[in-house]
Structure 1
Amino acid sequence: MSAALNLPKWAQQVRHRYEGGVASVFCLHGNIRDLQPFSNQYLPLPQFVVRAFTGGKQLVLFYSIRTGVTFADPAMEREFCQFLSVHFSLAGETSLAAAVRNGTLSPQLQDLFKNPSFALPLLQKLLETRDKVALIIEDAETLAPNQELAFLSMDDRRNIAILRNWAENPRVRQRDNFVFWLTENLSDLNSRLRTGTPHLDLTEIPYPNYEERLEFIQSELAETKVKLHDLTPEQFAHLTAGLNLTYIRALIMEARKSGEPLTAQHVRQRKEEIFREEYGGLIKVHEPEYGLDMVAGLEPVKRMLRLVAFILRSGNRQDAPMGIGLVGPPGTGKTYIVKAFAKEVGLPLVEVGNVREMWVGASERNADKVIALLKSMVPVIVFYDEIDQAYGRRGEIGDSGVSQRLWAKFTTFMADTSLRGLMLTIWATNRPDLVDEAIKRPDRAGDIKIPLFFAAEDPEAVLRINAKKRGFKLEDFDFAPVVEKVKGFSPAELNAVLTQARWFALEDNSPVITFDHLMKAAVTYTPSRNEQMIAYMEALAALECTDQRLLVPPHSEMSREELMKRARDLRFELTSQGLL
């Protein structure tokens, strides 16, 4: 390989493993479409591989089914044609031997090389018989797609066998040859190439972190002379968390072309568009407007969350929890509390959507993309809503193992203690009994589990806060009669009452909501709820609680045995009604 340089960490690891004889075939996956720093410039990955790793190699070539065989320079194409001439002559293929004697591959021969059945056996022969060869396979998943063996064509099976042989064949290593496979999503590559191959190294190329983005931004701004309007380079680097350097360069080039300074609003807008195009509904980045001061009641809960916020802001990573669970019936404000907490901390809030898809391998591919993105966005708060429904659990059957693989990916990710204090996992559910215990345990995502109960603690505060958020004007009046009418209502139901009161005000052409409007809404609004189901979910929430100070009567007055009996009895009743 080339002489030692200040390479990215992943590239240093590749160099170390190659020079140590650990591996001769490297599968680079993840952020492979990005620019990589080399000396004082930034290069696309294939060019970076050539510059960083192929010094001293006599032959460096690229292969893909899209382009066939290409070369680092014309002299190497001539060298390859000499190899082909000898091979074809020995094989009795005189016409093919004649076609390469001028030292170049004709378009007709390139078309043949676009067929892996023709190309891969020749490339294997090259690796076995020539010294100091570097072969870079682009879009490796197109040669060995991740499907069950029964669904693979015979050509695909041959491809897998040849590719695997390169990692196992001692002659490839002995001749000082190495191979790079490039694939964006590791889960797209056939599993037989990813496991059980001792001399294959799987190397993930991460998204750039804050320091790497900042260094790149400063370099690009200096070169392009683009001005920033209402943000510093440091703020620009924070705003672009989750974007790769290619996208950041595109943002700067857009500003250069327009001649206008780059603004924070434009960066946010373009980032949202890029995420929507790249990830669809897999993630959503929230920008909360309100902090915990706009959460009604729940003083013990807010006190605990403010302590966690202080720990995260202070940078005391070892004091930070790995995860927080919010457990309780629908309508209790779980998502709203998460957003308010994120505002309090001042960190980005990323909600992970449902990664499941019907197509083979698509769910695992989505999971890999999301996990890679989240790692690049630290420090960050990651929110999984209705975690019991979307991310699988250990032991589920009937979907070819997809649920178990998703469960394994996300639980491993949540358990990465190197991210403590940098990534806080928050999850919400109304059915914690359906969430795998491994997720809920301490040092995963269950350090703190907060129960939320159905009835709002302070209905007047809920109504006033929601009116303020929604821009509704309330007449000054005594709320006591209204509160009596809505006793036992959830925060979501109280918001529905406020909406109905607003409609009554509009009917009267009134700019404000009066006592009569709100009282009429409180009387006429009819909640739709199953009291037994709510009681069951509250019992489950109380059983999950990690701090008894967060419980409220009657649950705070019950022993754990009494709570378990109540949950069992309610479950039996609901099951007998066909509701569970």
Structure 2
Amino acid sequence: MNSTSWPVWAQDMARKIQSKTTSQFILYNNVRDLMALENPKFPGQMDYVAVGDFLAGSVFKERNTVLFYDISKGVYFLDSSMQAEFFKTMQITQQDLMKLPSYALKAIEIYIRLSVEKKRSVAVIIDHAETVIPATLTSAMSLEDRKCLVMLRKWANDPSYIKNNISIVLITDTLNDLNNRLVRNTSTDKVEVAYPDESERIHYIRYFIDEEIREKAPRLFADYASVTPEQIAHTMAGLNRRQLKILLAYARENNKRIDFAYLVAMKKEIIEEECFGMLEIIEPRHDLNAVVGYDAIKSKLRNLAAAIKMGKFDAVPMGYLVSGPVGTGKTFIVLSFVGEIGIPCVKFLNFREQWQGVTEANLEKILNLLRAMWPIGVIIDEADAFLGDRDQQGDSGTSNRIFAQLASFMGDTSYRGKVIWFLITCRPDLLPIDMKRQGRAEEHISVFYPETSEEKELLFRSMTRRLNAKIDESIHLKDVFDIHQTVSGADMEALVTRAKLQQAIVGADTVTVEMLRSIFQDFIPTNDPESVELQNLAAVIECTSKSLLPQKYATMDRSEIRRKFDELLKRYNQ
């Protein structure tokens, strides 16, 4: 297997080793994937192996000794001859190496020193490195952890390692899982193992199909798939080869049919499991045709959808701030827009943990996954509470670091049109200016309650259809409701649901005018009028397009809007 066919990250490693610039590497991100490696017994035939085995058979193929270490298995070797040479040199047993990590690392260090004297090249691959040197404050580290940290830092800075072809590789899922003093060491090179792109996914799926034929599997791909390898690879963006293997093998062994429904369901299940419930995949069921009213907003979003479909990513805003009072359907509009584009969408869930470094590691994992899944929409609901700011105190700086991680990712213009952010909030004034500026949430869309009688009638009709309420088309909203009263989409949903309940209780075939009139007259909105107006004014102030504002706000002087907002805010905070 020629080195030019290796993944880019492996080629970079090989160049740095060959040029004698680095001896210690940290591999992170997609490190649990399978990598293509030529089978030494059958030249020209490719197999897929774990990252450590790939390194041993490619980058470190010419090393005299390749040894592995993790705290579960202790020290083990690429082959028996290497193992025999190690124990002959060291005069110790395998049982000795199963002791504390510091003991095993010290034994490896002595072996490296003896190998240098014999002019033997060595590669050491430490898997699950976060279990050897976990992320924690130095002052809180155990003596055992400190010994390991000092040893690895010494190895990274030892010039004799570079000179004598001694390489150390630490494998971990995220950099934030490892001790910061090691990660930030300038002598340690950080190597990101990327998720496979579409062409690499196609290559693996074809390998899986060929492997079925070689092994004479009872069911072949053609027997259980109604989609092509290319369609699977395109749909499963964000999955690695190991996950593709699970998806394909599960269908084959359990008499499942691989179609688009199966792919969507499995992708959702696999990614949500991989993210431990920190991310929810949302497959939009509607496009913008499902949104009633809001014609100016729909027009703006449809223009954007057209640009994305044409591949004009450089013309797409980095993100959107969607604000407006509670119950206006902000999230529904965003989901409908994502459905209009036809791309998947994810929603951030709670990824915060109480332990040092775990929250940052969780976010790093999520952001790495987003990069692999593009194009994708990312929803952060209640963004003002979720994001926090740079000045939060009381959690040892975790919130500040999280804010910085998110802000950096959201502002990276290489993801323009690929990762589209939607920050949804009813209080945009509480969002840090860093997140609202151009280059992050560039377009600010504001959503308001329906104002005209026509808009309210449309909302009523839409909600009765969506909830499948049996209400006669001859009944109009003005027959049962004061048309001048403020009503939100959430209010209307609650009212129509009450009408359906009343119909079920009395056993009527349809909802009558009398039922509706009684329910509407009995209803008391839960929203405080001053709170709603405060949210309205906050949305008006943040809106970046005058065409999206109701007439009464579009013609109002901006200084007057600010004065009213400040006055309401002062009363609200008392």
Is contact 1:26-1:179 (8 Å) kept? yes
Aligned to 1:274: 270
Which of 87, 104, 125 in structure 2 is aligned with 1:136?
A: 125
Q: SS where residue 512 of structure 1 aligns?
A: coil
Per the TM alignment, residue 482 of structure 1 is displaced from its structure 2 partner at its CA by 3.5
Alpha-carbon contact 1:30-1:206 (below 8 Å) kept: yes
Q: Are the equivalent residues in 1 in contact too, given 2:469–2:496 (CA < 8 A)?
A: no
Q: Structure 1 residues 295, 367: closer, same or farther in 2, change over 3 A?
A: same
Change (3 A) 1:431 1:541: same
| Alignment of 1:202 onto 2:167 | no
- Whole-Å separation in 2 of the counterparts to 1:31 and 1:335: 32
Structure 2 contact 97–104 (Cα < 8 Å) conserved:
no
In structure 1, what is the equivalent of residue 89 of structure 2?
83
Aligned to 2:4: 5
Matches of 1:386 and 1:448, distance apart in 2: 17
1:190 paired with 2:179, answer yes
Could you tell me how far apart the structure 2 residues matched to 1:10 and 1:513 are? Answer: 65
CA deviations over 1:68-120 (Å, ceiling 9, x no partner): 11011111112212331xxxxxxxxxxxx3xx5xxxx44x33433xx112111
How many residue pairs get matched? 552
**Segment of structure 1 superposing worse, 23-32 or 448-457:** 448-457
Is the 1:38–1:48 contact (alpha carbons within 8 Å) kept by the matching residues of 2? Answer: yes
**Aligned partners of 1:128 and 1:487: how far apart in 2?**
83
Distance in 2, Cα, partners of 1:560 & 1:507:
51
Structure 1 segment 473-488 matched on structure 2, within 5 A: 473-477=470-474, 478-482=476-480, 484-485=482-483, 487-488=485-486
The answer on whether the counterparts of 2:272 and 2:281 sit within 8 Å (CA) in structure 1 is no
Gaps of 5+ in 1: 85-96
Q: What is aligned with 1:70?
A: 76
Return the letter of the residue paired with 2:510.
V
Matches within 5 A, 1:57-136: 57-84=63-90, 97=91, 100=92, 105-106=93-94, 108-112=95-99, 115-129=100-114, 130=116, 131-136=120-125
**Where do residues 234-313 of structure 1 align in structure 2 (5 Å cutoff)?**
234-313=230-309
- For residue 356 of structure 1, what is the amino acid of its counterpart? R
Q: C-alpha distance in 1, partners of 2:150/2:358?
A: 24
Distance 2:48 2:80 in 1: 23
- The alpha-carbon deviation at position 157 of structure 1 amounts to 0.8
* Separation in structure 2 between the aligned mates of residue 260 and residue 382 of structure 1, nearest angstrom: 31
| Shift, 1:234, TM fit | 2.5
Secondary structure in 1 matching 2:221: coil
State the 1:456 CA deviation.
5.8
Q: Which residue of 2 aligns with 1:93?
A: none
Aligned 8 A contact 2:288 2:298 in 1: yes
AA matched with 1:55: K
CA contact (8 A) 1:459 1:486 kept: no
Q: Which moved more, 1:124-133 or 1:20-29?
A: 124-133
Query: Is 1:380 aligned to 2:376, yes or no?
Result: yes
Amino acid at match of 2:32: R
Q: Is the 8 A contact 1:309 1:344 kept in 2?
A: yes
Shift of 1:29: 0.9
What is the distance in 1 between the residues matched to 2:19 and 2:558?
A: 57
Which residue is 1:30 aligned to?
Answer: 29
Unaligned runs of 5+ in 2: 39-45, 213-219
Query: Are the counterparts in 2 of residues 60 and 134 from structure 1 also a CA contact under 8 Å?
Result: yes
Q: Secondary structure at the match of 1:425?
A: strand
Q: Match of 2:102, as an amino acid?
A: S
Distance 1:523 1:311 in 2: 46
| Superposition deviation, residue 447 in structure 1 | 1.4
Which residue does the alignment assign to 1:447?
Answer: 442
Structure 1, 388-397 or 184-193: larger mean CA deviation? 388-397
The correspondence for 1:175, drawn from 159, 164, 172, is 164
CA distance, structure 2, for counterparts of residue 455 and residue 22 of structure 1: 65
Q: Equivalences for 1:476-555 in 2 at 5 Å?
A: 476-477=473-474, 478-482=476-480, 484-485=482-483, 487-555=485-553
Match of 1:471 among 468, 476, 479: 468
Give the letter aligned to residue 443 of structure 1: G
Match of 1:148 in 2: 137
What is the CA–CA distance in structure 2 between the aligned matches of 1:232 and 1:330, rounded to whole Å?
Answer: 45
Is the 1:433–1:540 Cα contact (8 Å) retained in structure 2?
A: yes
> Secondary structure of the residue that 2:4 maps to in structure 1?
coil
- 1:193 and 1:299, CA in 2 relative to 1: closer, same or farther beyond 3 A? same
Q: Which of 567, 570, 573 is equivalent to 1:572? A: 570
Instruction: Tell me if 1:48 matches 2:54.
Output: yes
CA separation of 1:486/1:474 partners in 2, compared to 1, >3 Å: closer, same or farther? farther
CA contact (8 A) 1:296 1:461 kept: yes
Q: Secondary structure at the match of 2:378?
A: strand
Instruction: Please list the CA deviations of residues 525-579 of structure 1 after superposition, one character each: whole Å capped at 9, or x if unmatched.
Output: 1111112122111111111111111111332122222222111111110111xxx
Bigger Cα displacement from structure 2, 357-366 vs 394-403: 357-366
Report the more deviating stretch, 246-255 or 303-312: 246-255
Deviates more, 1:226-235 or 1:50-59: 226-235
Stretch of structure 1 that moved more, 116-125 or 67-76: 116-125
Partner Cα separation in structure 2 for residue 261 and residue 421 of structure 1? 33
Partner of 2:337: 341
**2:205 pairs with 1:217:** yes
Give 3-state SS (helix, strand or coil) of 2:399's partner: helix
**Deviation of 1:484 (Å):** 2.9
Q: CA deviation at 1:124?
A: 2.2
Separation in structure 1 between the aligned mates of residue 543 and residue 555 of structure 2, nearest angstrom: 14
State how far apart, in whole Å, the 1-side matches of 2:332 and 2:559 are: 32
1:89 is matched with none
Residues in 1 aligned to 2:65 and 2:295: alpha-carbon distance in whole angstroms:
69
Offset of 1:455 from its aligned partner?
4.5
SS at 2:3's partner residue? coil
Aligned-partner Cα distance in 1 for 2:362–2:505: 48
Give me the whole-angstrom Cα distance separating, in 2, the residues matched to 1:533 and 1:570: 8
Letter in 1 for 2:465: K
Give 1:27 deviation, angstroms: 0.3
Query: What letter matches 1:460 in structure 2?
Result: E
> How far did 1:451 drift?
1.0
Which string of whole-angstrom CA distances, capped at 9 and with x for unpartnered residues, describes residues 22-69 of structure 1? Answer: 321110011111111234222111111111211221111001111111
Change (3 A) 1:461 1:16: farther
The aligned residue for residue 92 of structure 1 is none
Between stretches 460-469 and 327-336, larger displacement belongs to 460-469
Cα-to-partner distance string for 1:406-455 (whole Å, 9 max, x where unaligned): 111111111121111222111101122222212111121x2110011244
Name the CA shift for 1:233/1:571 in 2 (closer, same or farther; >3 Å).
same
C-alpha change, 1:312 and 1:133, in structure 2 (3 Å) is same
Residue 280 of structure 2 aligns to a residue whose secondary structure is: strand
The structural deviation recorded for 1:483 is: 5.1
Contact 2:324 2:426 in 1 (8 A): yes
Contact 1:3 1:55 in 2 (8 A): no
Is the contact between residue 502 and residue 515 of structure 2 (CA under 8 Å) also seen in structure 1? yes
Change in 2 beyond 3 A, CA 1:230/1:521: farther
How far off its partner does 1:260 sit? Answer: 4.9
**Aligned partners of 1:110 and 1:124: how far apart in 2?**
13
CA 1:7–1:175 in structure 2 vs 1: closer, same or farther (change >3 Å)? same
Deviation at 1:486, TM superposition (A): 6.8
**Could you tell me how far 1:312 is from its partner in structure 2?**
0.8
**Cα displacement string for residues 316-357 of structure 1 (whole angstroms, at most 9, x for unaligned residues):** 111111111101121111110011101111111111112212
